[in-house]
A = this chain, B = another copy of it.
Amino acid sequence: MGKSSTISKVAKLLNLNVETIRYYERRGLIDQPEKPLAGYREYPAQTIQRIQFIKRAKELGFTLDEIENLLRLGDTHCEDIQGIAEIKLNTIQSKITDLESLRTVLDNLIIQCRTNPDRTHCPIVESLLPESQDISN
């Protein structure tokens, strides 16, 4: 037992893979921490917080590139961060809209399947096939 925060302890604490933490370091999202004990990474609370920041931002749907920006902006420039968040909100909204129309289409097709008496022709497959198409030229 000890308060030493080695990479696997941090990984366990934050429910991440050890390799993932090293990957974030390689990617420049976190600095390499001091390595006092025979070259083993010793994570200060600040770095652990930063990793947790990354994790939460990822859960919010930000990409690692975007998170890099967020981290660079730090806790200044609230407006810039707000801007990034607004762009993100827009992309999330259009993803939702796309998925909803997708859901409608798929839902209708499944209903047609359920009421389909002819098991040898599937309404889904038929909907995917072109009606008829002029190919020439």
When distances are taken between beta carbons in the complex, the residues of chain B under 8 Å from A86 are 110
Q: Report which of B61, B96, B120, B123 forms a contact with A96, defined as CB distance below 8 A.
A: B96
Q: Could you tell me the dominant secondary structure of chain A's interface residues?
A: helix
- Interface size class, chain A: 35 or more
A95 CA / B61 CA spacing, docked (Å): 12
**Identical copies in the complex:** 2
Q: Output the residue of A45, A52, A75, A78 with the most chain B CB within 10 A.
A: A78
A133 CA / B100 CA spacing, docked (Å): 39
Q: Which of A94-137 contact B (CB under 8 A)?
A: 95-96, 99-100, 102-103, 105-107, 109-110, 113-114, 116, 118-130, 133, 135-137
